[in-house]
């Protein structure tokens, strides 16, 4: 009797471990397929990207792809969610960059500029705009994540670390990002300027970023001595 109970318990634990491993592999496969889909969507656009091509690019079957994403539209929007989560996780918040509030803001803004002015994000912005009439959700999510969310992070930092009133912190954050982004972002978006091939782990190493210029903008708008 005791041996039977022990054997049942062992079998249960093994089954539980197997389920966890399957779930992990399933999650990894889903992420892998999303990265493959992103590459295909960026290369061909939504209309010309077929599920067959995406499955082939992912090295899996169309049946497996459909098991995770019922429609191409669902896959398209999931790609936006994945990219935005990765970008925002990497960006973090101003407080993560330095103890000094002014330096923290400068470095955060530098990383933000490196992110939005590099080639892959620029291509994603262009794709979202191209497909905005068909999938407004993608463009809305992109704008909310990369602009409204970042503005909220800056405003929260100004309020918490510098004691700026809540309403004023929102205005300052909006003005700061506007001065940093315009006209550089629109020029890169429309191809007037070449976006950086990628961003560097070393802040300020990217040609897209001028730390001295960012310091001037931050210093002109933000009451760092408050």
Comparing CA positions, the residue from 127, 142, 140 lying closest to residue 39 is: 127
pLDDT of residue 223: 77
Predicted pLDDT of residue 26: 78
Angle at 23 between CA 31 and CA 37, to 5 degrees: 15
Query: Domains in the chain, start-ordered, CATH in brackets?
Result: 2-72 (1.10.10.60), 90-221 (1.10.357.10)
Is residue 172 within 8 Å of residue 158, measured between CB atoms?
A: yes
Ranges under pLDDT 50 in the chain? 15-24, 226
Q: What is the DSSP letter of 202?
A: S
Our CA dihedral for 57, 59, 62, 66, rounded to 10 degrees, sits at -90
Measured CA to CA, the distance from residue 219 to residue 203 in angstroms comes to 19
CA–CA distances in Å: residue 20 to residues 17, 29, 60, 153: 5, 14, 21, 35
Q: What is the CA radius of gyration of the chain?
A: 22
Q: Give the predicted TM-score (pTM) of the model.
A: 0.82
Quote the pLDDT of residue 16. 44
In this prediction, residue 15 carries a pLDDT of: 45
Q: What is the pLDDT of residue 25?
A: 75
**Which pLDDT does position 197 carry in this prediction?**
73
């Amino acid at each position: 009797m005791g041996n039977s109970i022990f054997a049942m318990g062992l079998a249960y634990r093994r089954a539980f471990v197997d389920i966890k491993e399957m779930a992990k592999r399933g999650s990894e496969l889903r992420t892998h397929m999303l990265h493959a889909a992103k590459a295909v969507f960026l290369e061909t656009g939504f209309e010309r990207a077929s599920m067959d091509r995406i499955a082939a690019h992912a090295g899996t079957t169309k049946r497996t792809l459909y098991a995770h994403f019922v429609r191409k539209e669902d896959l398209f929007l999931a790609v936006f969610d994945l990219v935005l989560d990765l970008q925002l996780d990497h960006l973090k918040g101003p407080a993560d960059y330095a103890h000094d509030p002014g330096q923290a803001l400068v470095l955060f803004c530098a990383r933000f500029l490196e992110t939005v002015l590099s080639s892959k994000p620029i291509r994603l912005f262009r794709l979202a705009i191209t497909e905005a009439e068909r999938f407004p959700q993608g463009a809305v999510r992109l704008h909310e994540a990369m602009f409204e969310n970042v503005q909220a992070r800056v405003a929260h930092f100004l309020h918490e670390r510098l004691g700026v009133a809540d309403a004023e912190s929102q205005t300052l954050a909006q003005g700061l990002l506007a001065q940093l982004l315009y006209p550089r972002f629109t020029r890169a978006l429309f191809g007037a300027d070449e976006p950086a091939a990628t961003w560097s782990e070393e802040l300020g190493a990217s040609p897209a970023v001028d730390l001295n210029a960012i310091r001037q903008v931050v210093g002109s708008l933000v009451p760092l001595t408050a």
